[in-house]
Amino acid sequence: MKTERANIAVFISGSGSNLQALIDNSKSGKLSGDIVLVISNKSKAFGLKRAQDAQIDTFVFKKKNYNSESEASEDLLKKLTERNIDYIATAGYLQLLPVNVVQEYKNRIVNIHPALLPKFGGKGMYGKHVHEAVLEAGETESGPTVHLVDEIYDNGQILEQIKIPVSGNDTPETLAERVLEQEHILFSLALDKLIKGKYEITHG
Ligand code: GRF
């Protein structure tokens, strides 16, 4: 798997600008994998349109459409295995992945978070809430983190971070914009290194 192109599934809930960066970097060769499936828990997520524009298969995964949680998670894992997915990237996906998926893809799932973990992570820390908390804490630096995914929000091994200065004039919006620019670079870089086996996995 280390020298071949990997099959990647991307999970989203919203705009999908990170998804777009992964698609673009895959096409340009900066990411040695192909985005072959995009999964969203929201049928109206703009990221689904980005996927369709790039001729990538999409799947709307809503647990409430199934009789039970286990039926839902089994169907999701079936979709991933049917498409020969090697790696998963969660890019603004606002739910926890089912445990069976986390276990099957152990050390092959990456998430991007818009702050310097382990600070400013955990349940409820997403989107604007993260940047508000960073500013309220008076941090002088922020930036994205790419980490491996386990069963707990924002808890897996940290793979990469980029630090950028926080200015006294920053609002949650201006900070989010500058962090997002770096996210678009960092996510592909980290996923490419993971695919190439360049990380020493030290947690579990
Ligand atoms: C990003 O800030 C990412 O770090 C966080 O959710 C946001 C998703 O943005 N997990 P987009 O949908 O990729 O534009």
**Residues 140-163 pLDDT 10s:** 999 999 999 998 888 899 999 999
- Residue-level pLDDT at 3: 52
Domain boundaries 6-195, CATH class: alpha beta
What are the residue ranges spanned by the domains of the chain? 6-195
- Annotation marks residue 113 as catalytic: yes
Which of 18, 19, 164 best tests ligand 1's pocket when mutated (most atoms within 8 Å of CB)?
18
Q: 172: cis peptide before it, omega within 30°?
A: no
CB-based pocket (< 6 A), ligand 1: 12, 14-18, 91-92, 112-114, 180, 183
- The pTM for the full model equals 0.96
